[in-house]
Each structure stands twice: as structure tokens, then as C-alpha cells.
Structure 1
């Protein structure tokens, strides 16, 4: 499941997929990754968290 949703754009994920992917990245041990890979995973995590934050703001205004 993670492998499939990992390649979707954050805006295309539903709430459950978004939470699942954020949890997956938060549980990773970035110290074991090469620097280039680590940077990519951290950027992806930030994208996901930004998307979740954006959705939460939209819910509060709606």
C-alpha cells in the first residue's frame, strides 16, 4: 500500500493515505540513509505535512 501511494502527488491523496504516509516517513530512521536520499525523504515529508496543514485550514474555514 505504501509503495503505491508514495508516488502520488500529495494533493491526490485522501485523508487516510496522507496520514498513513506521514506516519511512515516519521517512523523512518533518516540517519541510515545516504545524504541525497535523506534530503529527498525529508522534503517529501514536509510536502505531506504542508498539504495536511492546508486541508486542516480549509476545514476550519468551511
Structure 2
């Protein structure tokens, strides 16, 4: 996944490419979902991972 998001705030705000790198998928009730994702900024000197998401519970209504 890729998107441009605002990084920083105030006078330093700028649109920066941000990627979500899916590390693992799992099947829940027959549906394949990503359950581990690393979120990183794409910076001039390389990737900066600022969030590691892990889904531990899913419910469907």
C-alpha cells in the first residue's frame, strides 16, 4: 500500500510518501486479511518505520 500523507506539523508540514508493508496475512471466517503491517515514511536516506500494526482480534457483524 502506498499513499502520500502529511508528515510533521506547523511550518514543517509536507506531503511525504508513506507505505504499508504487509508482513503477514491470516484467514478469518474464510476471508484473507493482513494482520501484521509495518508503516514507514519513504525518506531521502531510506525507510523510517514509525508504526508496527498487529491485528489480534476481528469480528464481523
TM beyond 0.5: no
Q: TM-score range, shorter-chain basis?
A: under 0.3
Q: TM-score, normalised by structure 1?
A: 0.20
* Higher strand content, 1 or 2: 2
* Higher helix content, 1 or 2: 1
